[in-house]
Copies of this chain bind each other. A is one copy, B any other.
Amino acid sequence: MRNFIFHNPTKIIFGKGQIKKRIGKETAKFGKKALLVYGKNSIKQNGIYDQVTSSLTEAGVAYVDFPGVKSNPVLSHVEAGIELARKENVDVVLGVGGGSVIDSAKVIAGGVSADHDVWEFFTFTKAVIKALPILAVATVSASASEMNNGAVLTKEDCCNKFATASPLFQPQVSILDPTTLFSLNAQYSAYSSVDVIAHMLEAYLNCLEPSVILQDRLHEGLIKTIMESTDIIMKQSSNYDARANIMWGSVLGFNGITTAGMGHSAFPAHMIEHALSALYDIAHGAGLSIILPAWMSWALEEKKERMARFAREVFGVNNSDNFKAARESVERLKSWFASLGAPVSLKQVNITENDFEKIADNAVNNAQMWGMTNYNKEVITEILSKAK
């Protein structure tokens, strides 16, 4: 096991009925006026907006609405949020939504007192020095942003989708009520689970430390549970226990617990997917269901031991040959993604070989930022060609 520091102080309040009961009181501990960050209209349609705002009002917390966060959230919108937070002099930022909303809330919280372009957080030319307290009500389970310190943003003009992290981006409190997931449609639910599996599988497959049996078993148990639970919600959108497993499992799979002790891991499928999302604005989960199996096919020989273990432990593959078992894991994963209605080839999202150069150019930027310099244009093109 490698040396590590684990520090995740977010307070998680989990379960049905918790939003209305607690978000006001919890927010009130951090201030009297909140910037309420959310997306489009869904939280108004499914009643969550009312639960949040009535709880805030009851606890004496004023709020200023800042709606309009879109999937693959963009810098310009965050900048408008920072301006509003300054003008309204809010004490706290409350994100109600999925990863896009919570990530936007984080960057707004960190941007209020920053005297520079917040994009510099993402190019690592400036660190977050100070941030307003961040709270979250999660309504999509994918990014685990509700219990980690990361954020992802897209800068529209240069088509870069970059990630950053800061201890000050760790939410103080997050409320996770599985019933909020009931109204997510099948497509969105599927993409979310693809993202959750991808977070864990990329860490698991790219680990270079040999002694990680403890972490392997945590990952395998969570991946199996997320897959089974996703199969259930595809048929029963309001199955509480399955939604709860996904809501908590997605957080455990990307909040540092499962990876502590594994050392540095690479996320090549995420890195290439960020280029797809940045250029074509396709859903992150859809990009991952295309790229992850393609990357696995490309990495088959190098990662065959890890993939074979994955095949045996998660899919019950009974093949003692590592390469063959590994190959089967790719087929099984791809079939499972397809069974959810997630795309597994670029052609399904109307991307052709003519686009490869542009994608590779963009992804190489990410590879540089993420310290994955072995992923040059040629390599990325090769991976893309396996996703045709």
Residues of A with Cβ closer than 8 Å to B?
A: 1-18, 178, 211, 213-214, 217-218, 220-222, 224-225, 228, 240-241, 244-245, 248-249, 252, 257, 260-261
A11 and B8 alpha carbons, distance in the complex (Å): 7
Which B residues are in CB contact (< 8 Å) with A221? 214, 217-218, 220-221
Smallest CB-CB A-B distances: 3 pairs: A3-B15, A217-B221, A9-B9
| Interface contact B5-A8, CB-CB below 8 Å | no
Q: How far is the CB of A176 from chain B (nearest CB, A)?
A: 10
| Interface contact A214-B245, CB-CB below 8 Å | yes
Q: How far is the CB of A105 from chain B (nearest CB, A)?
A: 20
Which B residues are in CB contact (< 8 Å) with A5? 11-14
Which B residues are in CB contact (< 8 Å) with A220? 217, 221
A245 and B214 alpha carbons, distance in the complex (Å): 7
| Interface contact A244-B218, CB-CB below 8 Å | no
A9 and B197 alpha carbons, distance in the complex (Å): 26
| Interface contact A245-B1, CB-CB below 8 Å | yes
Interface-centre pick from A18, A213, A252 (highest chain B CB count, 10 A):
A213
| Interface contact B228-A244, CB-CB below 8 Å | no
Which B residues are in CB contact (< 8 Å) with A2? 15
| Interface contact B217-A224, CB-CB below 8 Å | yes
A58 and B260 alpha carbons, distance in the complex (Å): 29
| Interface contact B244-A211, CB-CB below 8 Å | yes
- Partner of A7 from the list B12, B16, B214, B240 (CB cut-off 8 Å) is B12
| Interface contact A213-B245, CB-CB below 8 Å | yes
- Partner of A11 from the list B6, B15, B213, B224 (CB cut-off 8 Å) is B6
| Interface contact B16-A12, CB-CB below 8 Å | no
A6 and B252 alpha carbons, distance in the complex (Å): 12
Question: Which B residue's beta carbon lies closest to that of A173?
Answer: B7
A221 and B218 alpha carbons, distance in the complex (Å): 6
| Interface contact A244-B261, CB-CB below 8 Å | yes
Question: Which B residue's beta carbon lies closest to that of A216?
Answer: B221
Which B residues are in CB contact (< 8 Å) with A260? 12, 14, 248
Question: Assuming A213-B225, A260-B248, A261-B248, is B14 touching A4 (CB within 8 A)?
Answer: yes
- Partner of A214 from the list B3, B9, B225 (CB cut-off 8 Å) is B225
Question: Assuming A9-B9, A220-B221, is B15 touching A214 (CB within 8 A)?
Answer: no
